[in-house]
């Protein structure tokens, strides 16, 4: 019996010993941790890179490496297509280091992180709004920035998506006989997006909304503008037919 108890006690001690050994932290320098993160990043092991770079921050050994790790973490989230986390990471980086030389890159990538969260015009439009605001900020802060051309393109795309959403809602109002609500939506769209390539489409549906609401004079004015300003539009033929019917006694 005593021998059995001694055996159990020895086993417990051995288990505690090995458990203690397993939990002993491995002390690595911030430089080594950062380099390990870099290798993981190169190998496309982005979660492992994030883990190592978070450890760099936790060491408090090197402010310079901490800054590099913060940007690296955001980059790893972006490359791993974790765009919500990436956007937050780039925003935090910019707030913590507003004068950093890579501030333009962080703002550019933050805008792309929001842009890559966009799905369709009939879904939550928050990513579109966030992307457009962020990209517009880049255009203001870095008018000659390295990423200017792509930012301009993506910003135009966001503006177009915003207009598509306004048209989507306006057409819904039109179909459900909420003509004044549709008119309000289309009129606002013309004011908010004067540069849009879809202006002919807005004018067409605004004319239809005016007509359905009994405002024939306004309908004629808008549809005439459509046929005059956009003769090659796919909506011009329908607008001309409507104008012909309105001109008949």
Q: What is the pLDDT of residues 173-205, one digit of tens each?
A: 999 999 999 999 999 999 999 887 899 999 999
pTM above 0.75, yes or no: yes
Cα 66–105–136 angle (5° rounding)? 130
Those residues of the chain that have pLDDT short of 70 are: 1-26, 249
Taking phi over 0 as left and psi of -120 to 50 as alpha, with beta for the rest, 60 belongs to left
Residue 226, pLDDT score: 94
Contact 146, 104 (CB under 8 A): yes
Residue 47, pLDDT score: 97
Burial of 7 (0-12, 13-18, 19+ CB in 10 A): exposed
Q: How many Cα atoms within 13 Å fall on the side-chain side of residue 113? A: 25
Out of 1.25.40.10, 2.40.160.10, 1.20.58.100, 3.40.462.40, the CATH code matching 177-249 is: 1.25.40.10
Residue 2, pLDDT score: 45
Instruction: Please report how the helices 46-59 and 30-42 are oriented relative to each other, as an axis angle in degrees rounded to 10.
Output: 170
Residue 115: C-alpha distances to residues 47, 108, 121, 189 (Å) = 22, 11, 13, 21
Residue 222, pLDDT score: 95
3-state SS string over 170-219?
HHHHHHCCCHHHHHHHHHHHHHHCCCCCCHHHHHHHHHHHHHHCCCHHHH
């Amino acid at each position: 019996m005593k021998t059995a108890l001694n055996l159990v006690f020895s086993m417990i001690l051995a288990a505690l010993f090995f458990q203690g050994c397993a939990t002993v932290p491995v002390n690595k320098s911030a430089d080594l941790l950062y380099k390990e993160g870099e290798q993981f990043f190169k190998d496309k092991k982005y979660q492992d890179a994030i883990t190592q770079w978070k450890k760099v921050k936790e060491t408090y050994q090197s402010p310079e490496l901490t800054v590099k790790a913060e940007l690296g973490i955001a980059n790893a989230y972006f490359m791993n297509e974790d765009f919500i986390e990436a956007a937050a990471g780039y925003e935090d980086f910019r707030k913590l280091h507003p004068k950093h030389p890579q501030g333009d890159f962080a703002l550019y990538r933050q805008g792309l992180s929001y842009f890559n969260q966009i799905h369709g015009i009939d879904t939550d439009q928050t990513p579109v709004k966030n992307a457009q605001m962020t990209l517009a900020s880049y255009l203001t802060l870095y008018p000659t920035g390295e990423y200017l051309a792509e930012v301009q393109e993506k910003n135009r795309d966001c503006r177009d998506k915003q207009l598509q959403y306004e048209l989507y809602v306006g057409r819904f109002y039109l179909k459900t006989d909420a003509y004044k609500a549709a008119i309000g939506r289309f009129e606002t769209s013309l004011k908010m997006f004067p540069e849009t390539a879809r202006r002919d489409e807005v004018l067409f549906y605004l004319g239809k909304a005016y007509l359905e609401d009994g405002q024939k004079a306004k309908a004629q004015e808008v549809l005439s503008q459509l046929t005059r300003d956009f003769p090659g539009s796919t909506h011009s033929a329908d607008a001309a037919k409507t104008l012909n019917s309105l001109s008949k006694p």
